[in-house]
Structure 1
Amino acid sequence: MSAEGASQTSIEYIQHHLTFLTSSDGFWSFNLDSLFFTLLTGIIFLAIFYRVGKKMTTGVPGKLQCVVEMLVEWIDGVVKENFTGNRTLVAPLALTIFVWVFLMNLIDLVPVDYLPQVAQMLGIHYLRAVPSADMNITFSLSIGVFCLILFYTVKSKGFGGLVKEYTMHPFNHPVFIPVNLLLETVTLVSKPISLALRLFGNMYAGELIFILIAVMYSANMAVAALGLPLQLAWAIFHILIVVLQAFVFMMLTVVYLGIAYNKSEAH
Structure 2
Amino acid sequence: MAISPPKTPQEYIEHHLHNLQVGEGFWTFNLDSLFFSIVLGLVFLIIFRAVARKATSGVPGKLQCAVEMILDFVDKTVKDMSSGPNKLLGPLALTVFMWVFLMNFMDLIPVDFLPYIAQHIGLPYLRVVPTADVNITMSMSLGVFLLIIIYTFKFKGVKGAVKEYTLHPFNHWAFAPINFILEMVSLLAKPISLGLRLFGNMYAGELIFILIAALLPWWSQWVLSLPWAIFHILIIVLQAFIFMVLTIVYLSMAAATEDH
Shorter-chain TM range is: over 0.9
Superposition pairs of residues 80-229 of structure 1, within 5 angstroms: 80-218=79-217, 226-229=220-223
TM-score calculated relative to the size of structure 2? 0.96
**1:221 is matched with which residue?**
none
Determine which of 225, 229, 239 is the counterpart of 1:235.
229
TM-score calculated relative to the size of structure 1? 0.93
Consecutive aligned runs of 4 or more in structure 1 exceeding 6 Å deviation: none
Q: Return the offset for 1:225.
A: 5.9
Q: The residue matched to 2:27 in structure 1 has which SS? A: coil
Q: The residue matched to 2:29 in structure 1 has which SS? A: coil
11-20 vs 144-153, which moves further? 144-153
RMSD: 1.4
**2:259 is matched with which residue?**
266
Residue 251 in 1 paired to residue 250 in 2? no
Superposed CA offset, 1:107-156 (max 9, x none): 00001100100101110000011000001100111011111111111122
State the identity as a percent: 60
Q: The residue matched to 1:266 in structure 2 has which SS? A: coil
1:177 and 1:113 map into 2 onto residues whose CA distance is 55
Contact 2:9 2:215 in 1 (8 A): no
Q: Which amino acid aligns with 2:167?
A: M
Runs of 5+ in structure 2 lacking a partner? Answer: none
Q: Return the offset for 1:217.
A: 3.0
Q: Return the offset for 1:85.
A: 2.6
1:254 and 1:191 map into 2 onto residues whose CA distance is 12
Residue 26 in 1 paired to residue 25 in 2? yes
Contact 2:144 2:191 in 1 (8 A): yes
Q: Return the offset for 1:100.
A: 0.4
Contact 2:33 2:136 in 1 (8 A): yes
**1:73 is matched with which residue?**
72
Superposed CA offset, 1:69-96 (max 9, x none): 1111111111111111323110000000
Q: Return the offset for 1:8.
A: 1.1
92-101 vs 19-28, which moves further? 19-28
Q: Which amino acid aligns with 2:174?
A: V
Q: Return the offset for 1:184.
A: 0.4
Superposed CA offset, 1:143-181 (max 9, x none): 111111111111221011111110111111122111101
Superposed CA offset, 1:20-71 (max 9, x none): 1111221111000000000110011011001101111111111110111111
Q: The residue matched to 2:127 in structure 1 has which SS? A: coil
Superposed CA offset, 1:198-236 (max 9, x none): 000000000000000001234xxxxx6652210001100
Q: The residue matched to 1:139 in structure 2 has which SS? A: helix
Q: Which amino acid aligns with 2:68?
A: E
